[in-house]
Chains A and B, each alone.
Chain A
Amino acid sequence: MLAWNANRALTRRVSEQFLLFGLAGLFLFLLTAIYLSWHNQFLNFMTAAIALPLGLLFFGSMTLRHVSQCHDEIETQLHLMAQSPNEISELRPIASNTQLAKGWNLLLEKVQQHQAWNGVERRLSEAIHARQSRRWEAIFQNLPEGVVTCDENGVVQQCNRALASMLGYPSIEDVQGKKFIELLDDLVGDEARERLQNLSVSNATQTLELKRTAEVSDGVWRLSTRVVDELNASSPCSLWTLRDITQTKLAEQAREQFVFTATHELRTPLANIRAYAETLATATDIPIETQNSFYNTINSEANRLSRFVDELLNVSQMEAGAITIQKHEVHLERLLLEVIESQKPLATEKHQKFEHSLSPKLPRILADKDKLSAALTNLIGNAIKYTPDNGRVHVRVESDNDRVEFHVEDSGIGIAAEDIPKLGTKFFRSHDSRVQERVGSGLGLAFAQEVARLHGGAIAITSQINQGSCFTLELPLR
C-alpha cells in the first residue's frame, strides 16, 4: 500500500508537473497565437507552434530528471543487488539532502552493520573452535593411557606422550613413523610376542594382555586395538590404546594367594577335629587321660577354626571398607588376659617363653572390645608365629593420663628395614624365605592398624632383623 502510494506520489508529481508545464505552455501558445494572428503573422505563428511545445518538452524532461534522480539511482542499485546478492559493498549512499536519499542511506548503513556483525560472529566461532581443538589436543597428550593411531601398514601416525614414555622414548617424534607392532615386540616376553603376531585387522575391538617378563611385578600391559573409519576416509586407520595394569594384576595375584592361604587355614583344623573325633568314636580302649587330651585338642582346634573365620570376616569387612567400631567401656586387664590365654597354646607348642606384664592400674577405656581383641590377637599371634622355637614373646601394657600402650616384643626373625614401611599394606608379605614358609594372609597387621586408626590411635613398629621386633599399639584415653 505504501509502495503504491509512494509510486503514485512519484507519478502524480511527475504528471502534475508535466501537466503544469503543459498547461502553461498551452496558455503561452494560445497567447502567442492570439497575438500573432492579431498581427497577421501566420509563419511566425507556425514556428512558434512547433518551437514552443518542443522547448516545453525539453524543459519538462529536465525537471522530470531532477525529480526522479534519486529514484533512478535507487532503482539501479536494487537491480545490481538482484544480479549479485553477495556484493553488498557495491551499494553506495546517495549524496542528496532529500528524505528519500536519507532513508536509503540509513538502510544501507543498517545493512552494512549487519554484515559487520556477521563477520565478527564468524571470527569468534572460529576462534572458539580453534581453542576447543587445542583443548582436545591437550587432553589427548595428557591422557594416562597411551593412545596411538596407525595407518593401514601399522605405521604410527599420531601418538601421545604417555605412549612414548611407556615404550621408553623421550618424545612422541621418536615414535611417529615407526611400525607400532615392532616397537612393542622388543619390549614384551616371548609368549606375548606370539599373541601380538596373531592380531588381525578387524572392526571389532581386540584386547590383549602382555607381560613384560615372566614376573607380573615387572609390568603387565593391556593393549586394545580397533579399526576406525572416521579418521581417514580413504584408507582404514587403526586406533590402539596401551594401559599399564600391573597394579591390578598384582592385587589379583595377592588375592589368589590369600584364597589359597585361607583354604589351607580352614582345612587344617578341620582335618584335626575330624581325625580326633573319629578316633574317639571308633576306638573303645583309649585310656581316660588320652581321651581327655583328645577332647581338649578338638576343643582348641575348633577355637582355632572359629578365630580364623572371625579373621576372615574382619578381613572381608576391611576389604569392603566397612569396618565400624562401637565403643563401650572395656575392662583392659580382662581383655588382655583373655587374648593371652587364647594365644598361649600356640606359644607352648613352640616351647616359647610367653610372658606378660601389665601395669597395676589399667584404666577403663572406651573401645570396641571385639575389634580391639582381634587386633591384639593379631599382634601377639604374629609375634609367636615369627619367633622360632624356644624364643621369647613378651606383652607389656603401660598407661598414663593420656594414653595406653600395648607393647608386643619378640625375639623372632625380625623385619628388614626396607620392609617396615610396607608392612601395613594389604596382602604384603616379605619375600624373606622365613616369612614365606609360614602361613600368613598379609592382612592381619593391616586390619590391626585400621582398628587402631578408628580408635584414634596408631601402631608403631621397631625391629632389628634376626634379633626381634616390637609392635606397639597406642590408644588415646579421652
Chain B
Amino acid sequence: MLRFAAEPVVSSATHRPKRYVAHFIMNTTTSTTSTRKRVLIAEDNGVLGDVIRFNLQRVGLEVVLTKNGHDAASLLSSSRFDVLVTDYEMPIIKGEELCRIAREDLNLQDLVIVMCSAKGLELNREQLKVRYNIADVLFKPFSVRDLTDLVLRNVTVPPTVSLGIDSTTPSIH
C-alpha cells in the first residue's frame, strides 16, 4: 500500500524544518489499517492534553498526543489521521503554521482541524477558519464535551461532505 513519507527540508539558518515535501514510496507489506478514526492532538499543556485524550478515547477514537508542532507535523506526514486538534501557542512550530503545513505542504484537505487557544479575542477567528478550513476555533477554557461532540460530528459524516456542512463555515452561504 502507498505510504506518505515526508522529508523536512531544513534551511540552514534555523533548526526548524521550513517545508514538508510529500512523496510516495511503495511499501511491499500490507498493513492492517484500523477502522477507527484517528485523532492527533498537539497541545503543550500536558494536563489538558491528557484529559482531551481521555475523553476522545472514551467515544471510540484512537488518539495520539504530542507536545509541540514539530512532532505533530512529523506524525501527520508519516501516518494517516482523520482529525487534528491543535493548540495555538506551542513550542517550535505554532498552531497556525501547523495548519498551513497540513493544508498546503502535505495537502491533507480531508483532515478535520480543530484549534484551541488561550489567546481569546486577540485571534482573528473567522480569518483562520476560512483560510485553513478549520472546523472551529475554541477559546480556553472550553468545554471538553463540546470539543468531543465537535470532533464526532465531523468524523462520523463522510469526509467529502463533512467539511463545509458544518454550520459555522461560511461556504454554505
Contacts and interface: CB of A to CB of B under 8 A. Distances in A.
Interface in B94-131: 118-120
Nearest to B139: A267
A273 B140 CA distance: 11
Contacts of B25: none
Interface string B136-157: 0000111111000000000000
B47 A301 contact: yes
Task: Kindly state the interface size class of chain B when it binds its partner.
Answer: 20 to 34
B48 A275 contact: yes
Contacts of A264: 89, 118-119
Given A267-B120, A268-B45, A349-B46, A278 B89 contact: no
Given A274-B141, A275-B141, A275-B144, A263 B51 contact: no
A466 interface: no
B144 A272 contact: no
Which of A275, A279, A282, A283 is packed against the most chain B CB atoms within 10 Å?
A: A275
B17 to A, nearest CB: 16
Interface in A240-293: 263-264, 267-268, 270-276, 278-279, 282-283, 290
A87 interface: no
B52 interface: yes
A17 interface: no
A270 B54 CA distance: 18
A294 to B, nearest CB: 8
B58 interface: yes
Which of B45, B91, B140, B142 is packed against the most chain A CB atoms within 10 Å?
A: B140
A271 B45 contact: yes
A402 interface: no
A278 B144 CA distance: 7
A230 B46 CA distance: 69
Contacts of A272: 45, 47-48, 51, 141
Interface string A287-310: 000100010010001000000000
Interface string B53-91: 011001000000000000000000000000000000101
Nearest to B90: A437
Contacts of A273: 141
A360 B119 CA distance: 48
* Main secondary structure on B side of the interface with A: helix
Contacts, number: 55
Contacts of A275: 48, 51-52, 141-142, 144
Nearest to A270: B141
Contacts of B55: 279, 283
Contacts of B46: 349
A294 B140 CA distance: 19
Contacts of B89: 264
Which of B47, B48, B143 is packed against the most chain A CB atoms within 10 Å?
A: B47
Nearest to A280: B51
B52 to A, nearest CB: 7
A272 B87 CA distance: 13
B54 A297 contact: no
B48 A271 contact: yes
Nearest to A285: B58
Contact of A274 (B91, B118, B119, B142): B142
Nearest to B54: A279
B144 A279 contact: yes
B151 to A, nearest CB: 14
B91 to A, nearest CB: 5
Nearest to A273: B141
Interface in A301-359: 301, 349
B147 to A, nearest CB: 9
B52 A271 contact: no
Contacts of A263: 118, 120
B45 to A, nearest CB: 6
Contacts of A290: 54
B51 to A, nearest CB: 5
Which of B51, B54, B142, B143 is packed against the most chain A CB atoms within 10 Å?
A: B51
A283 B55 CA distance: 9
A274 B116 CA distance: 14
Contacts of B140: 267-268, 270-271
Interface in A387-415: none
Nearest to A300: B47
A195 to B, nearest CB: 26
Contacts of A294: 51
A301 B48 CA distance: 11
Interface in B27-47: 45-47
A279 B47 CA distance: 13
Contact of A278 (B45, B119, B145): B145
23 contacts: A263-B120, A264-B118, A264-B119, A267-B140, A271-B48, A271-B140, A271-B141, A271-B142, A272-B45, A272-B47, A272-B48, A272-B51, A273-B141, A274-B141, A274-B142, A275-B144, A276-B51, A278-B143, A282-B145, A283-B58, A297-B47, A297-B51, A437-B91
The 3 residue pairs across chains A and B that have the minimum distance between CB atoms: A271-B140, A271-B141, A267-B118
Given A271-B140, A297-B47, A297-B51, 20 more contacts: A263-B118, A267-B141, A268-B118, A268-B140, A271-B48, A272-B45, A272-B51, A274-B142, A274-B144, A275-B51, A275-B141, A275-B142, A278-B144, A279-B51, A279-B55, A283-B58, A290-B54, A301-B47, A349-B46, A437-B91
